[in-house]
Amino acid sequence: MLLRWILAALVGLTACNEAPPPPPAKKEPPKKPAASSWKEIETPVPVGKKLACASALPTAKLSASLGRPVELIDDSARDPEATSVCRVMNVDKKGKVADEECLASVYCWSAFNVAEMKKRCDARGESSSTSDVGVLTCVQKVHAGDYERHVVTALDADTRCKVVVNAAPKQYDLEQTKACARAVVEALDADGLRL
């Protein structure tokens, strides 16, 4: 029995001499970047703010660029990602809205990069140019039965917006679609974008 007591005492002493487990290491709080190391990207129009076509594209400027009177029909509900979507409509001699010239979608909620956009255009097989409309123009061909229609995408240097112009439903002439895109880019009004 004495032996049992001695063994129990030795086991007790051994248990007391074991070091307690080390405390968990303190976690350092995540470091926040210094305010000078990041910058919010400034967009031409605050993200989510829709603009009326009349504000973004004054019809007097559009008409002057196209050489004939036009009116705008606001169709911005068509594209939730666009700042404005405007149907450019010709006006007949009696002053009534006639056929559609083009459909212009204006995107001003992102910071667009010419090199990045050119890479995307090239990857999609679109032709691109830096001398047609804006600082960069991409032309996409869209098959329409036996014909081809065109979608012209341009970056405007003044407002830093992207403009996408779709040809009218029965418009197959690339130069006419480019003319409409050029008129839209020229009519974009930086002051109107601030409204």
> Is the predicted pLDDT of residue 109 greater than 80, yes or no?
yes
Question: Mean of the pLDDT values across residues 66-80?
Answer: 92
User: For the whole model, what pTM was predicted?
Assistant: 0.74
Neighbour tally for 163: CB within 10 Å: 27
CA 182 to chain CA centroid, nearest Å: 20
Q: What is the pLDDT of residue 5?
A: 54
Instruction: Say what percent of the chain tops pLDDT 90.
Output: 31
DSSP state of 19: P
Mean pLDDT over the full length of the chain: 81
Question: Mean of the pLDDT values across residues 144-154?
Answer: 89
> Is the predicted pLDDT of residue 124 greater than 80, yes or no?
yes
> Is the predicted pLDDT of residue 105 greater than 90, yes or no?
yes
Q: What is the pLDDT of residue 73?
A: 93
Which of the four pLDDT bands, split at 50, 70 and 90, describes residue 87? very high
Sign of dihedral through CA atoms 173, 177, 178, 182? positive
pLDDT digits (tens, 9 = 90+) for 172-188: 889 999 999 999 999 88
The span from the CA of 108 to the CA of 193, in Å, is 9
Question: Mean of the pLDDT values across residues 64-74?
Answer: 93
Domains delineated in the chain: 53-193 (3.40.1000)
Q: Which residues contact 114 (CB under 8 A, 6 or more apart)?
A: 130, 135, 136, 155
Question: Mean of the pLDDT values across residues 108-125?
Answer: 86
> Is the predicted pLDDT of residue 128 greater than 70, yes or no?
yes
CA 131 to chain CA centroid, nearest Å: 22
Q: Which two structure tokens, joined as six digits, stand for 29?
A: 């709080």
Which has more pLDDT, 34 or 69?
A: 69
Q: What is the pLDDT of residue 29?
A: 60
pLDDT digits (tens, 9 = 90+) for 13-54: 555 555 556 666 666 665 555 555 555 557 777 788 888 888
Q: Are 43 and 192 in contact (CB under 8 A)?
A: no
Give SS3 for 182. Answer: helix
The span from the CA of 29 to the CA of 31, in Å, is 6
Q: What is the pLDDT of residue 86?
A: 94
